[in-house]
Amino acid sequence: MTYPRYPKYKDSGVEWLGEVPEHWNVASVKRLFSVVGGSTPKSENEAFWEGGIVWVTPADLSQIKGLLIADSTRRISEEGLASCGTTLVPEGSLILSTRAPIGSLGIAATVMCTNQGCKALVPNPETNAKFYAYLFSASNDELNIRGKGTTFLELSGDALASFSIPVPFPVEQTAIAVFLDRETGRIDALIAEQEKLIELLKEKRQAVISHAVTKGLDPSAPMKDSGIKWLGDVPAHWEFKRFKDVCVEIVDCKNRTPDQFDDGEYFVVRTSCVKDGLFDQQHGYMTNLDNFLEWTRKGRPRDGDVLFTREAPAGEACLSPVGLDFCLGQRMMYLRPDLSQIRSDFLLLSVYGPQVRQFIQAKAKGSTVGHLRVGEVGELPCLIPPIDEQAALSATMAQFDCQMDELSAEALRAIELLKEHRSALISAAVTGKIDVRGLVPDQEAA
């Protein structure tokens, strides 16, 4: 949709704003808001904590969905509030993270205070907090430019207070906020549909894997009772085995992580590098030769091995990356298949089969973190078809994965385009590049 522009514009005098509608003003943040800093009570004093006062940190802001923030991970007591330099601010205040990172924000849905990583902006009576929440979300890059620091960027209270922002009439601020609520809500609904599609594709893939590794491809094959109620019948010629029966090596890494050396020559595979059967190099880091030798003393992973996470989370796996000199980080293992019994790709499929999933879930009961001991990995159960059937099953699954990947990629592209459109629409509306006044009923803008 093409939106109209305002009849006349003028130079705002602010580089990042450019031209603004002729009747708009430009002012510093401190003309429209009171800027209130935060602080942290002493952590060792238990009386200062676990009280009833919401105490917001940048981490809290990064976790909210939408614009409202009503609670915090930790709360402080009245004694904690009185002990430090934080200040209660009223409902409707803007809460902005000003370090690690700069720019996460929310609108206070209740009375609250913040730590030193945030600033609260208490609006003047004629200032619409929702409009300026959208404005600050659109000016994130500009706020970060004004941050200073070597260890991490921090936006000072003075830099925030002097930041120049556009000032439409109050009724116009409200109209723009109402318009953006409506339009971003529609865009967010479309994004949610695409995200749901991606989840459905993952569920479909899991269902197909489960069928492939327990029922096979031939619906006419003779079946036998598995002896497991939830599993039902399985192909009569398949064998029940354990990972230790079909692997020549199951090797755990050292129980700590190698030191990081940015100029090192050897890659460290962490648990975060392994997810949904795929290897993701961006979550690892580099180490040096001494660490590499120490962390491969038990064994060195090679092509054809299956990498396996036994914690954080347990049960993710991928094929060993080809052409990469690497060692394994903490909680990582490698499984070396006996190729006379099981193919590497079929072993990987078995990790995501229902028998292994059930085993891991049973071990995780009553625990917030799934964890497998080294010996338990060897006990993981699997069904083993003949090698030629394994090859056919793996090929079929590879073809299916390609189809799922294409559909997922299309959904991700759609999400990215929708997010870009959302950001562009917000920026255009709050800086006056489009005129949305006529698109909001008068009663809603009042």
Supply the DSSP string of 218-282, one letter for each residue: -TTS-EEE-S-TTT-EEETT-EEEEHHHHEEEEEE--SSPPPP-TT-SEEEE-GGGEETTEE-GG
Residue 149 banded pLDDT, cuts 50, 70, 90: confident
pLDDT at res. 327: 96
- What is the arithmetic mean of pLDDT over 27-31? 97
User: What residues does CATH 3.90.220.20 cover in the chain?
Assistant: 25-166, 239-384
Q: Kindly state the percentage of the chain with pLDDT values over 70.
A: 97
Nearest to 106 by CA among 172, 173, 54: 54
Q: Which pLDDT tens digit goes with each residue over 38-85?
A: 999 999 999 999 999 999 999 999 999 889 999 999 999 999 999 999
pLDDT at res. 367: 54
- What is the arithmetic mean of pLDDT over 115-143? 96
- What is the arithmetic mean of pLDDT over 218-246? 96
Is pLDDT above 80 for 353?
A: yes
Q: 23 phi and psi, to 5 degrees?
A: -90, 0
pLDDT at res. 100: 82
pTM of the model as a whole: 0.85
- What is the arithmetic mean of pLDDT over 110-130? 97
Is pLDDT above 80 for 446?
A: no
**Taking a C-beta distance cutoff of 8 angstroms, is the pair 123, 92 a contact?**
yes
Residue 151 banded pLDDT, cuts 50, 70, 90: confident
By DSSP bridging, strand 75-76 and strand 33-37 are unpaired
Nearest to 313 by CA among 268, 356, 261: 356
Nearest to 426 by CA among 219, 143, 134: 134
**Rounded to whole angstroms, how far apart are CA atoms 97 and 286?**
31
**Rounded to whole angstroms, how far apart are CA atoms 235 and 221?**
6
Look up residue 237 and give its amino acid. H
**Rounded to whole angstroms, how far apart are CA atoms 129 and 95?**
10
In CATH, the architecture of 25-166 is Alpha-Beta Complex (3.90)
Q: Which pLDDT tens digit goes with each residue over 393-407?
A: 999 999 999 999 999
Cα 335 to chain centroid, rounded: 29
pLDDT at res. 371: 82
- What is the arithmetic mean of pLDDT over 233-258? 94
**Rounded to whole angstroms, how far apart are CA atoms 136 and 140?**
6
| Per-position b or e across 402-415, b if 16+ CB within 10 A of its CB | eebeeebeebeeeb
pLDDT at res. 442: 63
In CATH, the architecture of 239-384 is Alpha-Beta Complex (3.90)
**Six-digit token pair at 271?**
């648990």
Residue 105 banded pLDDT, cuts 50, 70, 90: very high
**Rounded to whole angstroms, how far apart are CA atoms 423 and 103?**
14
The residue assigned the tokens 């094929």 is: 319
pLDDT at res. 365: 61
Is pLDDT above 90 for 444?
A: no
| Per-position b or e across 162-198, b if 16+ CB within 10 A of its CB | ebbbbbbeeebbbbbbbbbeebbeebeeebeebeebb
Computed over every residue of the chain, the mean pLDDT equals 94
Residue 253 banded pLDDT, cuts 50, 70, 90: confident
Provide CB contacts within 8 A for 231, sequence distance 6+: 214, 354, 355
Element (H, E) at 35: strand 33-37
The residue assigned the tokens 């492939």 is: 212
By DSSP bridging, strand 49-56 and strand 75-76 are antiparallel
pLDDT at res. 2: 87
pLDDT at res. 291: 96
- What is the arithmetic mean of pLDDT over 382-388? 97
Is pLDDT above 80 for 368?
A: no
pLDDT at res. 362: 86
**Taking a C-beta distance cutoff of 8 angstroms, is the pair 313, 360 a contact?**
no
3-state secondary structure of 437: helix
3-state secondary structure of 441: coil
pLDDT at res. 43: 93
CB-hemisphere CA count at 13 Å for 383?
28
Q: Which pLDDT tens digit goes with each residue over 161-205?
A: 999 999 999 999 999 999 999 999 999 999 999 999 999 999 999
